[in-house]
Amino acid sequence: MAENSLPLLSFELGTLPPTPKPTDDDSDDGHPGNPRRWYHYVPLFAVLSLLAPHPSILHVLLNYHYLTLRMPQYFVIHLLVIYTLSFLAFSSLIVCVARDPGPVPDAQSEAQTNDAGGEISLEVALLSTPPEDYTQPGKWCRICWKPKPERTHHCSQCGRCVLKMDHHCPWLGAKCIGFRTYTSFLHFLASITLLAAYVAVVCIRGLVFAFSHPLAINEMTPVHMLILSFAGCAFAIIIGSFLGYHVYLHKSNDTEHISPFVLLRHLPPLPPCRLSSPPLEYQLTFAQRRAVRAAHARMSLYDVGWRRNAGQVLGIGTKHRWQAWAARLLWGGSCYGTGTQFPRNPRADDVLTELAVELVRLENSAN
């Protein structure tokens, strides 16, 4: 055989293409997930049609306040208030639809951010947990194979994990409400509630005048008032109740409906027993499950007081106060922090230690 002959087969391995890094833009088109079809945007178009400048509102304001009552100042005031609230609702709706609700960073980029001296508050530095160890159970999503920081949930409809995911909303373009869009979502709910209540009050007062002075007003104006009054009251009650429920959740900082069994991930190391460390939900007996629920009822893991909870959710505490308040008034602003670490309840360590002791006691008594 010739000395310089070439082999028949070559097993040289080519270099793999680099893994694309997630971009930090305001669109989630670059994230893998379930593609959206045209019918996913039908509920969004319905919301836009309700917020659009309605001819009935202009008809009522023009025929009742301007032509009948001869009060142009009321006409101008009501027009400004109604369309200012409509503009605020549109602005927060655009943010909820266009902004990524919460991209999950990979472990390497998060470590680089922490090493670079990211800007965090003193409260987060003192009360938050150390950097995540993604080798622990529950710290790595087994569906989309990405790091899963605390308060991160996987959305089966979007096919991805979202930081501090609250819920998947089909009315907002089939998008999730997460860490980066939650304040805008609250702003949208508040704007819609105020707009619906204001229109209802204006039209109900007009109906009272129309019934007492039936010949002084155009015959079609009371019909528009009746329809707007009914729609305004319905939306104010439904959306207002949803907004009130979220405000109630802020009291315990449990906006994403944390499961009681999330406490198992944060337990101190258990002594050798049948349970793993940390224990998994399916390993627990009925008595142990009841103990976990009782501990969760006594303490919410991220409850740091209602004032700090509201400040954390609404983003209060940033350096640029005027810019932050302007953004908060226009479209809701943004939450405070990075979305991967959150301050915890000061009583969390004591309650978790007691829960670990109780689980071990129940395990020994069962054996």
DSSP notation for 199-222: HHHHHHHHHHHHHH-TTSS-TTHH
Q: Is the pLDDT of residue 17 over 50?
A: no
* pLDDT at position 135: 47
What is the maximal distance between C-alpha atoms in the chain? Answer: 114
* pLDDT at position 118: 43
Name residues whose C-beta falls within 8 Å of residue 104's C-beta, 6 or more positions apart in sequence.
Answer: 22, 146, 147, 148, 149, 152, 160, 161, 162, 163
Give mean pLDDT, residues 225-248: 93
* pLDDT at position 237: 96
* pLDDT at position 28: 46
**Reported pTM:** 0.79
* pLDDT at position 176: 92
Region of residue 253 (left: phi > 0; alpha: psi -120 to 50; beta: else):
left
In a domain, 347, yes or no: no
Residue with tokens 């230690």: 353
In a domain, 117, yes or no: no
In a domain, 198, yes or no: yes
* pLDDT at position 186: 93
Instruction: Please write the tens of the pLDDT for every residue from 336-362.
Output: 778 888 888 888 889 999 999 999 899
In a domain, 217, yes or no: yes
* pLDDT at position 141: 82
* pLDDT at position 332: 87
* pLDDT at position 189: 95
How is 44-89 classified by DSSP, letter by letter?
A: HHHHHHHHS--HHHHHHIIIIIIIIS--HHHHHHHHHHHHHHHHHH
33-37, 258-262, 270-274: which range is least confident on average? 33-37
13-22, 71-80, 89-98: which range is least confident on average? 13-22
Q: Is the pLDDT of residue 194 over 90?
A: yes
Mean per-residue pLDDT of the chain: 80
Give mean pLDDT, residues 113-139: 49
Nearest to 92, CA basis, from 184, 216, 192 = 184
In a domain, 8, yes or no: no
Q: Report the alpha-carbon distance of residue 275 to residue 282 in Å, rounded.
A: 10
* pLDDT at position 125: 47
In a domain, 91, yes or no: yes
Instruction: Please write the tens of the pLDDT for every residue from 275-330.
Output: 888 888 888 999 999 999 999 888 888 888 888 888 887 776 555 566 677 888 88
* pLDDT at position 136: 55
Beta bridge partners of residue 155, listed in sequence order: 160
Q: Report the alpha-carbon distance of residue 365 to residue 367 in Å, rounded.
A: 5
* pLDDT at position 289: 93
Name residues whose C-beta falls within 8 Å of residue 339's C-beta, 6 or more positions apart in sequence.
Answer: 102, 149, 163, 164, 179, 180
Token digits of residue 177: 């409400």
Q: Is the pLDDT of residue 120 over 90?
A: no
CB 338 within 8 A of CB 147: no
Q: Label residue 72 exposed, middle or buried (CB < 10 Å: 0-12, 13-18, 19+).
A: exposed
Tell me which residue range forms the domain holding 222: 41-102+165-254
88-97, 114-123, 186-195: which range is least confident on average? 114-123
* pLDDT at position 143: 83
Residues labelled catalytic: 169
Specify the long-range contacts of residues 44-48, CB closer than 8 Å, at least 24 apart: 44/97, 44/171, 44/172, 44/173, 46/171, 47/93, 47/171, 47/172, 48/93
Number of domains into which the chain is organized: 1
In a domain, 96, yes or no: yes
Q: Report the alpha-carbon distance of residue 340 to residue 317 in Å, rounded.
A: 18
Q: Report the alpha-carbon distance of residue 320 to residue 24 in Å, rounded.
A: 22
19-33, 199-213, 245-259: which range is least confident on average? 19-33
In a domain, 111, yes or no: no
> What amino acid occupies position 121?
S
Q: Is the pLDDT of residue 333 over 80?
A: yes
